[in-house]
Structure 1
Amino acid sequence: MKKIVYIVKGNGDKAEFDEKKLLKSLKNAGAEENIALRVLDKVYPQLYDGITTKKIYKIAFKELRNIDNPSASRYQLKWAIMRLGHGLEGFTFEKYVSRIFENLGYNTRLNVVAKGKNITHEIDLEIEKDGQRYLVECKHRSKPGVWIHIQVPLYVYARFLDLNDKYNGAIVVTNARFSKQAIAYASGVGLRLIGWNTKKQDNLKYLAEKSLVYPITVLKSIDDKCLKKLFNEEIIVVSDLLEKKQIIYKLFKKQKADKIIDEALKLKK
């Protein structure tokens, strides 16, 4: 019988380690069940009371990468999106969200200035599909255990009311979690929330995987030193690497460029 281990979650709460959750996250990343079980067997001996979920993720990621590198890249999607905070002027997350909506069939515009009934607004992202137009507010967080509280839905909905002659609705997208109060308010006024703890069709991880839009930060071969160069060239997602190979070989030495392209190709399979 395996020992009971109490872990510390991102928000500081303590809970009993649940191997089913780890197995589910590994399989969601594309790992076959036998591989997920092998990773679990490697992780268990390294657990101890008080270990953080972040530490467990790092251990599981390392073990999965040794067995199935493409699945490991998908497994670290949550942390990869956090790394988008290294983007210039903080716009990288907005660009990433825009690419997700583009792949879902929307027309998109970034950094839109819209005149409302009372004041002028700067909109992070505007999306349109089938004659329906929406304003999108993007909230990026670079640390785990962070929540989006009621203040954000309140001001986004107030902005929508001032612009409702131009938009059919409003959306808040974050890589963090929404508080219960934020979710309750948004549900009451018809504000769409997309985050890490929202229902499946509005879950950021689900939409990223459905649209096959993976940020370049999922790749092991791309460290923080590479990011600024790539972001400067508007290379945000893995498919950009394959579409702009010539730029990759201009930015990096052949050995490094080969490694990046090879890893990108494996993830796209």
Structure 2
Amino acid sequence: MQNDIKEIYITKTSGERAIFDSNKLRQSLSRSGATSEQVEVVMQKVQDILKDGMATQDIYRTSFKWLKKMSKSVSARYNLKKAVMALGPTGFPFEKLTAAILESMGYSTQTGVIVPGHCVKHEIDVIATKVEHHVMVECKFHNRQGFVSDVKIPLYIQSRFLDVEKNGGTVVVTALSSIKAG
């Protein structure tokens, strides 16, 4: 399926219209672990239903349906964003999930820790430690598609981490975890 055969506009979750890019769908399927044969089957099924103005959710549903028929494990990875969004309306379960992932990587973790900064105290979502490696994680959880954190958020987080570091905190790595849908 070539992009340059016919320009088909799709409607994103945000309401924005964009030209359908089959390469984006191919990459998404491949990143989920789909084989090249599975990717081609899904691409053909999507091409069969693709029409101007179609919602990205409809393309996703079709892709997911056919992946699930071919491989439950690949479809589960393809569905990961929606699964994380289903954690709930608050970010707390996402913080716990982030901590659990770091623990599976050999880190000791704490969540919701109040840390003194040079200027003020800060609540850090996840602190992870392994040997001499210390990580502070600020989780940004959006449980609806189409919502995007603007540039002020990472700048604010970085300033918080610098404030903790200036107070003698052990910030070696700063990280921003984010689930951004849409």
TM value normalised by structure 2? 0.84
C-alpha displacement of 1:158 = 2.4
Of Structure 1 and Structure 2, the greater strand share is in 2
Q: Which amino acid aligns with 1:111?
A: G
Q: Does the 8 A contact of 2:42 with 2:66 survive in 1? A: yes
**Matched residue, 2:69:** 66
SS at match of 2:118: coil
Q: Does 1:81 align with 2:81?
A: no
Cα deviation for residue 94 of structure 1 reads: 0.4
Q: How many residue pairs are counted as aligned between the two chains?
A: 176
* Ranges of 4+ aligned residues in structure 1 off by more than 6 Å: none
Structure 2 vs 1, CA of residues 14 and 128 (structure 1 numbering), >3 Å: closer, same or farther? same
For the Cα contact (< 8 Å) 2:91–2:139, is it kept in 1? no
User: In the superposition, relative to structure 1, how do residues 28 and 170 fare at CA in structure 2: closer, same or farther (>3 Å)?
Assistant: closer
From 10, 16, 20, the equivalent of 2:23 is 20
Residues 12, 130 of structure 1: alpha-carbon distance in 2 compared, 3 angstrom cutoff: farther
Unpaired segments ≥5 residues, structure 2 = none
Give the counterpart of 1:6 among 9, 20, 35: 9
Whole-angstrom CA distance in 1 between matches of 2:116 and 2:68 = 49
Structure 1 counterpart of 2:151, one-letter code: I
> Structure 2 CA distance, aligned partners of 1:150 and 1:27?
29
Counterpart position of 2:134: 133
Mapping for residues 229-244 of structure 1, pairs under 5 Å: none
Q: What CA RMSD, in Å, does the superposition of the two structures yield over aligned residues? A: 2.3
Greater RCO between the two (CA within 8 Å, min separation 6)?
2
Counterparts of 1:29 and 1:141 in 2: how far apart (Å)?
21
Provide the C-alpha distance between the structure 2 equivalents of 1:34 and 1:166, rounded to a whole number of angstroms. 51
Report SS of the residue matched to 1:148.
Answer: coil
Q: Distance in 2 between matches of 1:51 and 1:95?
A: 36
Asked if structure 1 preserves the Cα contact closer than 8 Å seen for 2:125 and 2:138, the reply is: yes
CA deviations 1:113-140 (Å, max 9, x no partner) are: 2222332222111112341323211110
Partner of 1:84, secondary structure, is coil
Structure-2 separation of matches of 1:150 and 1:20: 27
Rounded to whole Å, the distance in 1 between the matches of 2:21 and 2:151 is 30
CA offset digits 1:47-79 (Å, max 9, x no partner) = 111112222111110121122222111111121
Distance 1:20 1:116 in 2: 45
Q: Quick check: 1:176 aligned with 2:177?
A: no
Of 29, 38, 44, 2:41 maps to 38
Partner secondary structure for residue 54 of structure 2: coil
Cα deviation, residue 3, structure 1: 4.6
Structure 2 equivalent of residue 252 of structure 1: none
Cα deviations by residue, 1:204-225 (Å, 9 ceiling, x for unpaired): xxxxxxxxxxxxxxxxxxxxxx
**What residue in structure 2 maps to residue 160 of structure 1?**
161
Amino acid at match of 2:38: I
CA distance in 2 between counterparts of 1:9 and 1:47 reads 14
